[in-house]
């Protein structure tokens, strides 16, 4: 498990964030661990002290703030939510929504519901289930299509995932992974969808041998081509780590090997998944990576802003760190050149494994992040 401040890697991705899993509801229903929702008010990089962010346990190095026992205001005078990005999709099934529905009278519910559960967030597919992945992806994309919205989906089954860390797992080999991606792509449909392709798969590839890394990058390049061929409107983004991980030129060289510079497989890069670095730092870093990457002039970047509202901890803590806050609202309209979106890839309230079991929703943590 890599925990160095200079390369805080995502731990607990498979168990955290939003996953689509088979359960008693049936294989055709996508079941994320948690979902985001329409946003309240766009937040600055360092929001007011009234709002505290939470970390969600997803793929990359995530962090969470301390839990708070102070209840939220009573459920009167609910704040009005501002329109953030009408185009982004909020999946109706998640751990946070389950909690909200089960606790209508909890004094924290209003804050958690309005500032986390009602915001659009990514849906993770972290379990290797080739027989049902198509139907589960289709359940998400068709649900979004029915609302005229854009879903964000996260394929997360690369072999040797997380270098054997807390989020280990994935396909048993690259032939199996290729087949899984084929089935994943078959569920995309024909409308716009944002694909966050395999968090940590490139930035964290230093644990692999040269041969293993070559196989992984070949599989990622193929995955991008397959996804975009299946749905020409799909927007596929590749792993750029974050601004405090690999230097931009080094990351760009790795990305190029994985096909991220090719318009046939890529729409650009993503950064800060499950991490806490300020949006301004990620914008600057992503532009440096894109400049070094070259390729199509249309390549852009998306940034995970789910819990970066107070920036990253100075000590590099990645596991549910204290003092974090939710960040900017999910939107595909950033107003920033080459920055295609601010997304909630990891959902606030899902633990990295320190405030609660990895991947599980913890109300006290969510409340502390959101209030």
Q: Which of 301, 348, 305 is nearest to 327 (CA)?
A: 305
Distance CA 329, CA 253 (A): 31
**Beta strands across the sheet bearing 193-197:** 123-125, 152-155, 193-197, 234-239, 268-271, 300-304, 339-343
**Measured between alpha carbons, how far is residue 35 from residues 125, 145, 182, 215, 235 in Å?**
13, 17, 25, 32, 20
3-class secondary structure per residue, the chain:
CCCCHHHCCCCCCCCCCCECCCCCCCCCCCCCCCCCECCCCCCCCCCCCCCCCCCCCCCCCCCCCCCCCCCCCCCCCCCCCCCCCCCECCCCCCHHHHHHHHCCCCCCHHHHHHHHHCCECCEEECCCCCCCHHHHHHHHHHHHHHHCCECEEEECCCCCHHHHCCCCCCCCCHHHHHHHHHHHHHCCCCCCEEEEECCCCCCCHHHCCHHHHHHHHHHHHHHHHHHHHHCCCEEEEEECCCCCCCCHHHHHHHHHHCCCCCCCCCCEEEECCCCCCCHHHHHHHHHHHHHHHCCCCCCEEEEECCCCCCCCCCCCCCCCCCCCCCCCCCECCCCCCCEEEEECCCCCCECCCCCCCCCCECHHHHHHHHC
Q: How far apart are CA 212 and CA 210, in angstroms?
A: 6
- Which are the catalytic amino acids? 162, 200, 352
């Amino acid at each position: 498990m890599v925990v160095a401040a200079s390369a805080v890697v995502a731990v607990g991705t498979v168990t955290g964030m939003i996953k689509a899993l088979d359960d008693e509801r049936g294989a055709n229903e996508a079941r994320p661990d948690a979902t985001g929702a329409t946003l309240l008010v766009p937040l600055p990089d360092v929001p007011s002290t009234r709002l505290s962010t939470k970390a969600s346990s997803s793929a990359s190095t995530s962090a969470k703030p301390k839990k708070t026992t102070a209840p939220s205001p009573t459920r009167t005078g609910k704040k009005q939510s501002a329109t953030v990005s009408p185009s982004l999709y909020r999946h109706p099934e998640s751990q946070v929504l389950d909690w909200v529905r089960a606790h209508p009278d909890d004094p924290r519910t209003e804050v958690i519901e309005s500032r986390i559960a009602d915001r659009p967030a990514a849906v993770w597919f972290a379990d290797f289930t080739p027989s049902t992945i198509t139907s589960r992806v289709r359940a998400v994309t068709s649900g979004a299509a029915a609302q005229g919205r854009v879903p964000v989906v996260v394929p997360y089954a690369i072999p040797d995932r997380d270098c054997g860390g807390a989020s280990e797992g994935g396909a048993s080999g690259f032939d199996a992974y290729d087949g899984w991606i084929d089935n994943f792509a078959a569920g995309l449909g024909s409308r716009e969808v944002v694909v966050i392709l395999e968090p940590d798969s490139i930035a964290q590839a230093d644990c692999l041998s040269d041969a293993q890394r070559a196989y992984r990058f070949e599989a990622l390049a193929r995955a991008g081509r397959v996804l975009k061929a299946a749905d020409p409107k799909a927007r596929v983004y590749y792993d750029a780590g974050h601004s405090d991980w690999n230097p931009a030129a080094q990351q760009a060289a790795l990305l190029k090997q994985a096909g991220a510079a090719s318009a046939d497989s890529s729409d650009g890069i993503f950064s800060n998944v499950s991490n806490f670095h300020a949006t301004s730092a990620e914008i600057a870093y992503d532009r440096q990576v894109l400049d070094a990457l070259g390729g199509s002039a249309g390549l852009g970047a998306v940034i995970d802003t789910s819990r970066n509202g107070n920036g990253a901890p100075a000590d590099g803590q990645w596991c549910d760190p204290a003092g974090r806050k939710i960040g900017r609202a999910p939107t595909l309209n950033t107003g920033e050149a080459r920055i295609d979106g601010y997304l909630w890839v990891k959902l606030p309230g899902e633990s990295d494994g320190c405030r609660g079991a990895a991947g599980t929703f913890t109300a006290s943590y969510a409340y502390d992040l959101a209030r």
